[in-house]
Amino acid sequence: MIKTFIDKLLGKSAGTGASAKSRFGKRQEVPASVHGIDPALVDERAKNVVTTLQSAGYEAYVVGGAVRDLLLGLRPKDFDVATNATPEQVKSLFRRAFIIGRRFRIVHVVYGRGREHEVIEVSTFRAYMDNAAAEQVKGNERTSKGELAGMTHAVDSTGRVLRDNVWGPQEEDAARRDFTVNAMYYDPASGIVVDYHNGIKDAKKLVLRMIGDPITRYREDPVRIIRAIRFSAKLAALGFEIEPKTAAPLIASSKLLADVPQSRLFDEMLKLLQTGHAVATIAQLRKLGLATGIYPLLDVVVERAEQPFVKAALVDTDRRVGEGKPVAPSFLLACVLWADVRDGWAQRLEGRHGQRGQPAFPALQDAIDDVFNTRIGDVSGRGKLGGDMREIWMMQPRFDKRVGSTPYSLVEQARFRAAFDFMRLRADVGEVSEAIAEWWQEFSTADDLRRQDLLDQVREEQKAPVRTRVRTRAPQANAPVDGSSGEDRAMPQVEADDEDADTQGAVPPDGEAPRKRRRRRKPRPAGGGGEGGPSAG
3-state secondary structure 177-206: CCEHHHCEEECCCCCCEEECCCHHHHHHHC
Report the alpha-carbon distance of residue 423 to residue 404 in Å, rounded: 20
Which of 7, 78, 421, 482 is catalytic? The answer is: 78
Active site residue 78: yes
* Residues in the chain, overall count: 537
DSSP code string of 261-292: -HHHHHHHHHHHHSSS-HHHHHHHHHHTT-SS
What separation in angstroms does the CA of 359 have from each of 335, 400, 501, 509?
24, 17, 14, 18
Residues contacting 61, CB < 8 A, separation 6+: 50, 81, 82, 83, 185, 186, 187, 194
Answer for the pair 232, 282: CB distance below 8 angstroms, yes or no. Answer: no
Residue type, 110: V
Q: How far apart are CA 518 and CA 236, in angstroms?
A: 63
Q: Tell me, rounded to whole angstroms, the distance of Cα 117 from its chain centroid.
A: 19
Which of 43, 69, 80, 221 is catalytic? The answer is 80
Closest CA to 471 of 504, 431, 503, 511: 504
| d(C-alpha 244, C-alpha 127), whole Å | 28
Is 497 catalytic? The answer is: no
d(Cα 317, Cα 95) in Å, to the nearest integer? 34
Catalytic residue, chosen from 178, 400, 488, 497, is 178
Name every residue whose Cβ is closer than 8 Å to that of residue 258 and which is 6 or more positions away in sequence. Answer: none
Rama region for 166: left / alpha / beta (φ>0; ψ in -120 to 50; rest)? beta
**Alpha-carbon span 63 to 81, nearest angstrom:** 5
Which amino acid would we find at residue 60? A
- Report the candidate in 422, 431, 457, 433 with the shortest Cα–Cα distance to residue 443: 457
Sign of CA dihedral 338, 343, 346, 352: negative
Residue 178 a catalytic site member = yes
Contact 83, 124 (CB under 8 A): yes
Among residues 67, 50, 72, the alpha carbon closest in space to that of 59 is found at 50
What residues are annotated to the active site? 78, 80, 178
